[in-house]
Chains A and B, each alone.
Chain A
């Protein structure tokens, strides 16, 4: 009797899926707390408990409180969740696709490609026929960013991958070349831009979710939500790809479809995230790496957990950026780079041997 119950209770040794599921529950909790904190903290003195008390008592909120909460902090929180999840999940997907823990949209030029797309849309958007420009409306910048990130991901994959194997060195160097090229083109466009466009560009390039509005949320949400909703279908394929492209196809993975799906997913998510938040780096590399340490590389859980932790991380980084030099604010990109830079070096040191560098 007792041995039977023991057998049934014990999961297979080396199977970490129960751990990953527990982690998912914890991450949902952390995200909830981060969301509440993001709504509570800010330059003005609106406190959430007070607001809750007012609402529960059936009284109406003051106009000021309502505006701050619903039109400033709420869209900022939602945008933080979307952008954080998009960047972290894109990082995890790219790493799976390139079979390499160092692949990150920010590091290898995918974000730069998206940025170029966004800049082209901001500066040259006026040249489009008026009817087309009106039809695209707010979506012009995210769509252009999507095309930029899609083109750069494709190019990078073509250059860095031969016969299903990706060279770390080639990938990183190609990323540097891509970023330099994109930087030059962006510079050229900035040179051409008029004063109003320059203002838009400068604020956009700072990498921030501080200027969040519902309009920004609605322009980025469709692409990001679509991309995130597609990732569960990539999990099985990305697990297979860990064995290499040939072996993946031998276990029944439709390799070409998974690769195309992964590239479009990354381009959508990164394009939309970069279009509304500028360049926020390192989320895509820090989050999946931490999760692999905690519960293993099974993409079935890694992708979902990356989304949850990425969203929380961005909210917390945003909180820090609001608090550190209050009442002024730091661009959030500075916060993520301060955390992510040393973390990246630590990964390099730990994995030097394994990566053959």
Chain B
């Protein structure tokens, strides 16, 4: 499992995270949600060790602050928000970088399989720099998937950390990517994603952490976290949560009371 305790993080004098506790279980798809500037991406950066924090982050029994780079690369893959490349790599060459970690070294067949998984099987020979933002994002996801192709290894779960994985995508591909993440979790891996879209979160995620003003407001199942009052308070706008009998939870911003505010 992933357990973060009492995470404080400051940029200069401005404190972004105030003593956040956060946990995610393997076998589950956990989302971090919250309004712009709430600190959800910053929390992600602490969880993957990209920013200096005080507190403790333990991933599968390892303190990530002291673990070796290659040890971490063997148990987790990280998808950044956007990646620009300085050189004209082809799509296949970018995905192949995922085999660098040593765990997947030499497994060239994973490249084609990962591209197939993200719906870009025919793109292998194209130049990465010439793709659209959404296509680039899916290529990067394929790269991360080759790194941790099996959701478990030696009986231990592996992890995917996804920073806004669907923000650049159309609705069709949003569903594809969310399904990939959910399948990874169902197969025993752990997934943590920063999410903007609350409806997709409600549809696919098992656990939701709601962050507001650098603090954890609540963590639980989508139905526990997504209630009118809490969301309206966090996002500073009126939100109505609907639960139609046939499908899961979905949310609507409530235009009428926006005006009242």
Task: Spell out A's residues near B (CB within 8 Å).
Answer: 12-16, 95, 99-101, 236, 239-240, 242-244, 246-247, 249-255, 292, 296-298, 354
A14 and B90: CB pair below 8 A? yes
Q: For residue B103, which residue of chain A has the nearest CB?
A: A252
Name which of A14, A101, A253, A297 has the most chain B CB atoms within 10 A of its CB: A14
Q: Which of B55-63, B71-79, B204-212 contacts A (4 or more CB under 8 A)?
A: B71-79
A13 and B124: CB pair below 8 A? yes
What's the least CB distance linking A118 to chain B, in Å?
31
29 A-B interface contacts by CB (under 8 A): A12-B92, A12-B112, A13-B92, A14-B123, A14-B124, A14-B125, A14-B126, A15-B90, A15-B96, A15-B124, A95-B87, A99-B86, A101-B87, A240-B97, A240-B100, A242-B85, A244-B83, A250-B48, A250-B72, A251-B97, A251-B98, A251-B147, A252-B74, A292-B87, A292-B88, A296-B90, A297-B87, A297-B88, A297-B93
CA distance in complex: A100, B72 (Å)? 28
CA distance in complex: A297, B89 (Å)? 6
Name which of B76, B92, B108 has the most chain A CB atoms within 10 A of its CB: B92
B residues in contact with A12, CB < 8 Å: 92, 108, 111-112, 124
CA distance in complex: A76, B69 (Å)? 45
Size bin of chain B's contact surface: 35 or more
A252 and B91: CB pair below 8 A? no
B residues in contact with A255, CB < 8 Å: 69
Task: Spell out B's residues near A (CB within 8 Å).
Answer: 48, 50, 69-70, 72-74, 76-78, 80, 83, 85-93, 96-98, 100-103, 108, 111-112, 123-126, 129, 147
Top 6 closest A-B pairs, CB basis? A14-B92, A252-B73, A297-B87, A14-B90, A14-B124, A14-B125
B101 and A101: CB pair below 8 A? no
B92 and A15: CB pair below 8 A? yes
Main DSSP-derived SS at the A contact region: loop
What's the least CB distance linking B153 to chain A, in Å?
14
A15 and B88: CB pair below 8 A? no
A354 and B90: CB pair below 8 A? no
A252 and B69: CB pair below 8 A? yes
Q: For residue A353, which residue of chain B has the nearest CB?
A: B129
B residues in contact with A244, CB < 8 Å: 80, 83
A251 and B101: CB pair below 8 A? yes
Name which of B87, B90, B111 has the most chain A CB atoms within 10 A of its CB: B87
B residues in contact with A14, CB < 8 Å: 90-93, 123-126
CA distance in complex: A113, B10 (Å)? 38
A residues in contact with B111, CB < 8 Å: 12, 15
A residues in contact with B92, CB < 8 Å: 12-15
B residues in contact with A252, CB < 8 Å: 69-70, 72-74, 100-103
What's the least CB distance linking A206 to chain B, in Å?
34
Our pick among A16, A246, A250, A292 for the contact of B73 (Cβ within 8 Å) is A250
B93 and A298: CB pair below 8 A? yes
Given A12-B111, A15-B96, A296-B89, are A250 and B83 neighbors across the interface (CB < 8 Å)?
A: no
B residues in contact with A250, CB < 8 Å: 48, 72-73, 76-78
What's the least CB distance linking A348 to chain B, in Å?
15
B86 and A100: CB pair below 8 A? yes
What's the least CB distance linking B29 to chain A, in Å?
20
CA distance in complex: A223, B87 (Å)? 29
A residues in contact with B85, CB < 8 Å: 242-243
Given A250-B77, A252-B73, are A242 and B89 neighbors across the interface (CB < 8 Å)?
A: yes
CA distance in complex: A100, B85 (Å)? 9
Q: For residue B89, which residue of chain A has the nearest CB?
A: A297
A residues in contact with B102, CB < 8 Å: 252
CA distance in complex: A41, B19 (Å)? 75
CA distance in complex: A100, B147 (Å)? 26
Q: For residue A250, which residue of chain B has the nearest CB?
A: B78
CA distance in complex: A198, B183 (Å)? 73
- A15-B108, A242-B85, A252-B103 known; 13 new pairs, CB 8 Å cut-off, are A13-B125, A99-B86, A101-B87, A242-B89, A247-B78, A250-B72, A250-B76, A251-B100, A251-B101, A252-B101, A252-B102, A296-B89, A297-B89
What's the least CB distance linking A20 to chain B, in Å?
11
A residues in contact with B83, CB < 8 Å: 243-244, 247
Q: For residue A164, which residue of chain B has the nearest CB?
A: B50
Our pick among B78, B87, B126 for the contact of A242 (Cβ within 8 Å) is B87
B residues in contact with A296, CB < 8 Å: 88-90, 93
Q: For residue B90, which residue of chain A has the nearest CB?
A: A14
B residues in contact with A254, CB < 8 Å: 69-70
A residues in contact with B80, CB < 8 Å: 244, 246-247
A residues in contact with B112, CB < 8 Å: 12
A residues in contact with B123, CB < 8 Å: 14
A239 and B86: CB pair below 8 A? no
A residues in contact with B126, CB < 8 Å: 14
What's the least CB distance linking A229 to chain B, in Å?
22
CA distance in complex: A13, B98 (Å)? 17
What's the least CB distance linking B112 to chain A, in Å?
6
B residues in contact with A292, CB < 8 Å: 87-88
Name which of A101, A243, A250, A298 has the most chain B CB atoms within 10 A of its CB: A250
CA distance in complex: A130, B132 (Å)? 65
A residues in contact with B97, CB < 8 Å: 239-240, 242-243, 251
Name which of A13, A236, A298 has the most chain B CB atoms within 10 A of its CB: A13
CA distance in complex: A99, B85 (Å)? 8
B100 and A239: CB pair below 8 A? yes
B86 and A101: CB pair below 8 A? yes
CA distance in complex: A292, B103 (Å)? 28
